[in-house]
């Protein structure tokens, strides 16, 4: 998937983990791995030369997607 799709999956996972939402057993067990996988994928998609993110790994940087990812990563860091 593209950067936006990755963030759209990662962001709800991250918020559920951060807020400690009551989840059913299968979801609760998978959640830490899903958050870690999202962070890993976003780091892999980051441009080495600019530090930004584009729609796709080999695409041009997009300031809005970069801001979206940075907001998610800042939330994860908290």
Can you give 9-38 as a three-state secondary structure string?
A: HHHHHHHHHHHCCCCCHHHHHHHHHHHHHH
User: What is the pLDDT, as a whole number, of residue 21?
Assistant: 84
φ and ψ of 61, to 5 deg: -55, 145
pLDDT by residue, tens only, the chain of 78 residues: 899 999 998 888 888 888 888 888 888 888 888 888 999 999 999 999 999 999 988 889 999 999 999 999 998 888
């Amino acid at each position: 998937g593209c950067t936006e799709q990755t963030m759209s999956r990662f962001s709800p996972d991250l918020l559920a983990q951060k807020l400690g939402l009551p989840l059913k057993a299968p979801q609760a067990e998978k959640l830490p791995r899903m958050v870690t996988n999202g962070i890993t994928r976003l780091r892999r998609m980051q441009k080495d030369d600019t530090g930004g993110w584009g729609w796709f790994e080999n695409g041009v940087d997009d300031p809005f997607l970069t801001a979206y990812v940075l907001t998610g990563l800042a939330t994860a860091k908290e």
